[in-house]
Amino acid sequence: MLNSIITRTGSYIPTLRIPNKHFLSHDFYGADGIKLQKSNDEIIHKLQEITYINERRYVTDELNTSDIAFRAAKQTIENTDKESLDYILVAQNFGDVAAGNIRTDMVPTIASRVKHKLKIENPYTIAYDVPFGCPGWLHGMILADYYIKSGDAKKILVIGAETLSRVSDPHDIDSMIYGDGAGAALVEATDQNSGILSHVTRSDTLDNAYLLGVGKSYNPNYKSDALFIKMLGHEIYKYALREVPKVVKQSLDKAGFTLADVKKVLIHQANQKMDQAILERLFKLYQVKNIPDNVMPMTISWLGNSSVATLPTMFDLLQRGKLDNHALHPGDIVVFASVGAGMNINSMVYRMPA
């Protein structure tokens, strides 16, 4: 049976560094439309304490989601025959949103725009989007694995790109969490016993579909009917802690491994305190009290939460030796996990190829 390995990676990290002090002049309101009474210093300090975010990256005005997706893609397939790509899958949730004009633009798809920018002529390079919340890039990887194992494809480009700075409410404290970015991976067929070994996905829509969605600005005086990204943070936190560790364990069980076999756990960068709690719950499932040092890399402190881009960006930085004290070697077992709008969760077990 064919397996799926990541042969190349790439990413685009925006150039605008937005430190926490950027939000000192903002007016913050609650969901009830009442202005928050705490000072911005207090609000920012509390958010930093919970999320560990010191800064995040925003795209410059001339760039959009399709542009940064293209840049990550171009870096990934450098020195590769682009015409040999069977699929281009782009995970995204808001399409292109121009600076100063909060309207989603998804026709044509972001994947079609990326293929156009790459100047690929092959009509059988199929390009489409994967709107699956924050787990979108990981779900694209899972789809790529299905295509390869079915014999339908040999080479697939999977991209995650988002510009959340364009769709976050400046009057909602959650806007401080979000950042922009893009990451990509080239997935190819192999007969090696490595690459994607297993994956598990779940969607909890009955009670949790609207824990994350869109809504109007919390500022009742905001002069627009624009819709911004909105989340019920405390409910998402509880949901993630309850369900994500179980899905990770299911994926490891499916691959025939235990947590003791895992070198790195790569979790979507939503909130560092939440990710640490997920990791603790995961180790508790295996009745392990002492969590090894450096098992879970984090980038949220300087990149923020860039949704679908967090995992591919982190993996690219790992591959390029740009994450201090973290490295991967042939044969290492890596677990990827993500949770987000839907609510959706997925986990993937991956063995680094020789």
Residue 263's pLDDT band, with cuts at 50, 70 and 90, is: very high
Beta bridge partners of 29: 35
Res 101 pLDDT > 90:
no
Query: Which residues contact residue 306 at a Cβ distance below 8 angstroms, ignoring those fewer than 6 apart?
Result: 56, 57, 162, 164, 178, 179, 180, 181, 269, 313
Q: What is the CATH number of the domain that holds 232?
A: 3.40.47.10
User: For a pLDDT cut of 90, what percent of the chain falls above it?
Assistant: 95
Q: How many domains does the chain have?
A: 2
User: For a pLDDT cut of 70, what percent of the chain falls above it?
Assistant: 100
| pLDDT reported for residue 287 | 93
Beta bridge partners of 158: 89, 185
| Residue 143 domain boundaries | 3-193
| pLDDT reported for residue 74 | 98
State whether 22 and 81 are in the same domain: yes
Residue 323's pLDDT band, with cuts at 50, 70 and 90, is: very high
Tell me the residue ranges of DSSP E strands in the chain.
Answer: 3-12, 16-19, 55-58, 87-91, 126-130, 155-163, 180-190, 195-203, 212-215, 228-231, 262-267, 333-340, 344-351
Residue with tokens 């976050």: 168
Residue type, 111: A
| pLDDT reported for residue 100 | 85
Mean pLDDT across 175-194 = 96
State whether 151 and 289 are in the same domain: no
State whether 164 and 201 are in the same domain: no
What is the DSSP code string of 68-103?
HHHHHHHHHTTTS-GGG-SEEEEE-SSBB--TT---
State whether 178 and 288 are in the same domain: no
Among 142, 163, 193, identify where a domain stops.
Answer: 193
State whether 177 and 250 are in the same domain: no
Res 60 pLDDT > 90:
yes
| Mean pLDDT, rounded, of the chain | 96
